Structure 1
Amino acid sequence: MSAEPSDALDGVYAAQTPEELNAAYQRWAETYDRETIALGYCLPFVVTAWVARHVPREAGPVLDVGCGTGLSGPVLAALGYAHVEGLDFSPEMLRLAEARGTYRRLTQATLGETLPFADGAFAALFSTGVFTEGHAPASSMTELARILAPDGKAVLTVRSSILQSGGFEQEFARLEAAKIWREVERSEPFRAFVMAEPEVLVQSFVFERNG
């Protein structure tokens, strides 16, 4: 397969509503892994380096936010994280993630809405490829912070092109000013795809929930 953007990827970027986005992922689910890996999509694997750097294996439950087909799950299992859960809005993607056999539990829910988890339910959470064009809003951060345990870590990637225009930088600053969490690390921009889409740059952020 050529390392060129696919029609499915274009359809995801073009979605204007949550319903359109869900339909785009439903159409893409069965070929998602093959196509994204052929394009050199590396975020589900790269993020595990930040998780391993900041989250001890014995810390407690870790939530894969927007887990999709669950590409990160087997990598974290190999690194010794025994309790990883997944969250996604697409039932088709969750079905594929379940087949990997590495997630303790999978939950269908939509970012930007109230999440079905208790306060402080997770020792850490991570998310890649979710905070990008036409996807989950910056307002999702309030709920993600809520479900983090005190001193818990959030590892997030945000597409550079929407960091300001999408309100992410402002939301990060608001939560820090409110002493809900603090920024621990942010990366320089880097490519989400190592072969295709050279203009798609992201940054990785690590936040720690205040105790």
Structure 2
Amino acid sequence: MVDASDGNTSHNSVSDTASDLVNMTHASPDALAAYYDKWATSYEKDLLAMGYRAPAEAAKLIRQHGIATNNPILDAGCGTGLTGLELSNQGYSHITGIDISPESLKQAKTKGCYQTLKIQNMNQQLDFANDSFAAAQCIGALTYVDNIEGLMREFSRLVQAGGIIVFSHRVDLYDGKFANTLQALDDDGTWSLIDHSPPRPYIPDHADFGDEKTIHYDIYRVH
């Protein structure tokens, strides 16, 4: 296993499962669910110890871009609920979480910030009606999505016109194919780009990520 520690995080402060994170980039849905099921009980402790702050940053972006706190929000790839908890800290109370890991969703339920939690594979159609949400976020989960265009069109179907979609993606994976997929939805009038951030820290104290793997935050307005 890869040692998750570096000069900032001691070997004993994170679990062995956390140190395997770099190997999950191309995992199958079943392997991914099993991995996050195994990690669920120590996931938050490990990530926070390694400096993970993306959920808080994303929640602030949703609030800053005018989504009222009484509006419904989709938290896609919610994991154990760090993302939903940060939305709740910003005042949001109508949050729906989806994730592929049942054990992670059990942990998310204990947060008390979700109205609804569902097991969903984001490579498939999502089980919600059109225009169900004022905003959707997907933080730290696009690495595991094979059909990026399909998922972004699903988010655009689920988010009301005028609402926003916020997601993060690793800079090292933000290649021409990914960027072209996003641009195609802009070109056909599905959405328009509001903001594309410069590279931001991802998991700064993870030995395999650190300063080498950063993320962009993108925000799109649904038409």
**TM-score, normalised with respect to structure 1:** 0.91
* Residue 164 (1) aligns with residue 175 (2): yes
Q: Which residue of 2 aligns with 1:96?
A: 107
* Residue 206 (1) aligns with residue 206 (2): no
1:67 is paired with a residue whose SS is coil
Tell me which moved more, 14-23 or 198-207.
Answer: 14-23
| Aligned partners of 2:67 and 2:135 also within 8 Å | no
Alpha-carbon offset, residue 24 of structure 1: 1.0
Pick the aligned partner of 1:150 from 144, 161, 181: 161
Distance 1:180 1:158 in 2: 20
Alpha-carbon offset, residue 7 of structure 1: 3.4
| Aligned partners of 1:59 and 1:123 also within 8 Å | no
Q: Deviations over 1:76-127 (max 9, x none)?
A: 2232212111111111111000000011111110112100011111100111
AA matched with 2:65: H
Alpha-carbon offset, residue 146 of structure 1: 1.2
How many percent of aligned residue pairs carry the same amino acid? 29
AA matched with 1:208: R
Please report the RMSD computed on the Cα atoms of aligned residues, expressed in angstroms.
Answer: 1.8
Q: Which residue of 2 aligns with 1:173?
A: 183
**TM-score, normalised with respect to structure 2:** 0.86
Q: Which residue of 2 aligns with 1:9?
A: 18
* Residue 189 (1) aligns with residue 199 (2): yes
2:155 is paired with a residue whose SS is helix
* Unaligned 5+ runs, structure 2: none
AA matched with 1:9: A
* Unaligned 5+ runs, structure 1: none
| Aligned partners of 1:156 and 1:204 also within 8 Å | yes
Matches within 5 A, 1:8-157: 8-15=17-24, 16-58=27-69, 60-132=71-143, 135-137=144-146, 138-139=148-149, 140-157=151-168
Distance 2:41 2:196 in 1: 33
Task: State the number of aligned residues.
Answer: 207
2:192 is paired with a residue whose SS is strand
Q: Deviations over 1:127-178 (max 9, x none)?
A: 111123xx1232321211111111110011011111116x321211111111
Distance 2:108 2:170 in 1: 24
Tell me which moved more, 137-146 or 169-178.
Answer: 137-146
Alpha-carbon offset, residue 58 of structure 1: 4.2
